[in-house]
Amino acid sequence: MALGVVSRFADHLQHFTPAYYEVKGVTGVWHNALPYAIPMISVFGDNRLSKAHPEWVQIGPDGERATRASRYFDWDAICPSHDATFDQGLNWVAEAVRQSGSGTVRLDDVTYAREGFCQCQTCQTKSQDAGMTLNAFRIQRLVDFVRQAHLIAPHLHMTLFPDPFPGHLQRRFGVDPDRLAHDVEAFVVPIYDLHYATTYWLEILAEAFLELIPGRYYIELYGLQVPEEALLHACQVAQAYCDGVIVAYENHLPKLQRIEERLALDS
């Protein structure tokens, strides 16, 4: 099985498949796409846009705003229900396709922030106009976004939040893998830890997503400063359940290459 990476280092990307390069992360800064890499876009996570357009920030129960100031969030979540954020997301996909010269793009943060989000005025008005519950509206909105992104990028990968409990992706995040499967070529599930000192929980999640995800499925592990033997072991556990293992943010190329060699021997 091939090892994939998420990397900021151009010289790492050509060695691994798939190789993802973040053209836009949650900070909102754009980095031009690189050859040999799949551009990855944080679509509805954007600290810069939330500052420029506070009216786009997702709103939860009791008016709680989905920003870093809240207890729940590490970045600011903007609401996919606005036409402007929806169109901006599609423009980023188009720009990534144009710059990379390939038709593959990974969608990150195509999601509502968590349960109860978003209840902004736009979400309420649009769901009522459509005669849908808020939950049904959210799911439909993200299906529509991914479908339109697929018209621009022929090959889509998409990140899922690592919550495989039945119904949680739909109810908490407005994400329905079964309804997205037609447009998504591979789902990527980040299962991060800083040590991977134990892996039983990783195995539980890995197997649960194998049952849940229709089609191709990658597990993404966190790599930076994780001890090499522990990371290798986590990769070995993960690869038994998925179609590919991805290591994110490791900055040491020989470590990644040694792990890849050991995984190849196992498979």
Total of residues contacting Zn ion (CB under 5 A) = 5
Rank residues 47 and 199 by Cβ distance to Zn ion and give the closer one.
47
Q: Closer to Zn ion by CB, 67 or 81: give it.
A: 81
Measured from the CB atom, the residue of 120 and 263 that comes closer to Zn ion is: 120
- Judged by CB under 5 A, the stretch of 3-11, 113-121, 138-146, 253-261 that binds Zn ion is 113-121
**Residue 199 near Zn ion by CB under 5 A:** no
| Residue written as token pair 């005025």 | 121
Smallest distance, Å, CB 141 to Zn ion? 9
Three-state DSSP class for 158? strand
- By CB under 5 A, tell whether 118 contacts Zn ion: yes
CA distance 144 to 75: 24
| Residue 132 burial (CB count, 10 A) | 15
> Phi first, then psi: what are they for 29, rounded to 5°?
-80, 135
Q: Is 120 in the site for Zn ion (CB under 5 A)?
A: yes
Rule CB under 5 A: choose which of 19, 26, 96, 123 binds Zn ion: 123
Closest Cα to residue 217, out of 228, 227, 209? 209
Residue (81 or 111) nearer to Zn ion, CB: 81
The whole-angstrom distance between residue 38's C-alpha and the CA centroid of its chain comes to 13
Instruction: Tell which residue, 218, 222, 209, 211, has the closest CA to residue 249.
Output: 222
**CA–CA separation, 231 vs 234, rounded Å?**
5
Q: What are phi and psi of 94, to 5 degrees?
A: -65, -40
Stretch 63-82 residues interacting with Zn ion (CB under 5 A): 79, 81
CB closer to Zn ion out of 78 and 263: 78
Q: Supply the minimum distance, in Å, between the C-beta of residue 122 and Zn ion.
A: 5
Residues of the shown chain interacting with Zn ion in the complex, contacts defined by CB under 5 A = 79, 81, 118, 120, 123
